[in-house]
Amino acid sequence: MAYSDKVIDHYTNPRNVGTLDKSSTTVGTGLVGAPECGDVMRLQIQVDENNIITDAKFKTFGCGSAIASSSLATEWLKGKSVDDAMKIDNMDIVEELALPPVKIHCSVLAEDAIKAAINDYRVKNGMEPIELEKSH
Ligand code: FES
Ligand code: FES
């Protein structure tokens, strides 16, 4: 399969690989797996007192498209409000990376990881988790 230049760029030079302090109340951690392939993604956000995401990190044990999707997601997350982060749709990632149909679920993993991280942050800070509809 031919990967787009953007996938190759993020795959060979992934942004924001790493770990934030999971125990901090200002950090939200999302850990999700794709039933289709068994790949696993962890995505973390650091949120400031104004509800702005100041940092994002990921670790993905998965295919090139999943790594590229999570790398792109961390770039998009930084500087966004939590509310705007909630609106990131996997199809935005598909479009930006020009993922082929068989790789759509890799982008779904990234959207799910973002939402899981936000919900972890919300629950830690006494907010209700946001009800998630399946995004695909
Ligand atoms: Fe692949 Fe939903 S199962 S996009
Ligand atoms: Fe599983 Fe890409 S093939 S996340």
Atom 4, ligand 2: residue with shortest CA distance: 106
Range 90-103 average pLDDT: 97
Which residues, including other chains, have CB under 8 Å from residue 13's CB and lie 6 or more apart?
none
pLDDT bracket for residue 132 (50, 70, 90): confident
User: Could you name the CATH architecture of 5-124?
Assistant: Alpha-Beta Complex (3.90)
- Is residue 73 within 8 A of residue 88, CB to CB? The reply is yes
Q: CB count, 10 Å around CB of 57?
A: 21
Q: CB count, 10 Å around CB of 16?
A: 19
Which residues, including other chains, have CB under 8 Å from residue 4's CB and lie 6 or more apart?
97, 98, 99
Pocket test for ligand 2, best of 10, 32, 37 (most atoms within 8 A of CB): 37
The whole-number pLDDT of residue 134 equals 59
Which ligand neighbours the alpha carbon of 99 most closely?
A: 2
CA distances from 40 to 16, 62, 105 (A): 17, 6, 12
| Catalytic residue, candidates 53, 73, 85, 106 | 106
Q: Is the CB of 8 under 6 A from ligand 1?
A: no
Nearest-atom index, ligand 1, CA of 136: 2
SS3 (DSSP) at 45:
strand
Q: Is the pLDDT of residue 135 over 70?
A: no
**pLDDT tens column, 13-50:** 999 999 999 999 999 999 999 888 999 999 999 999 99
Which comes out higher in pLDDT, residue 134 or 61?
A: 61
Give the whole-angstrom CA distance, residue 50 versus residue 94. 30
SS3 (DSSP) at 129:
coil
Give the whole-angstrom CA distance, residue 106 versus residue 34. 8
Q: Is the pLDDT of residue 136 over 70?
A: no
The whole-number pLDDT of residue 63 equals 95
- Is residue 122 within 8 A of residue 129, CB to CB? The reply is yes
Q: Is the pLDDT of residue 79 over 90?
A: yes
Active site residue 63: no
pLDDT bracket for residue 1 (50, 70, 90): low
Q: Is the CB of 39 under 6 A from ligand 2?
A: yes
Which ligand neighbours the alpha carbon of 11 most closely?
A: 2
The whole-number pLDDT of residue 2 equals 75
Q: Where are the domains of the chain?
A: 5-124
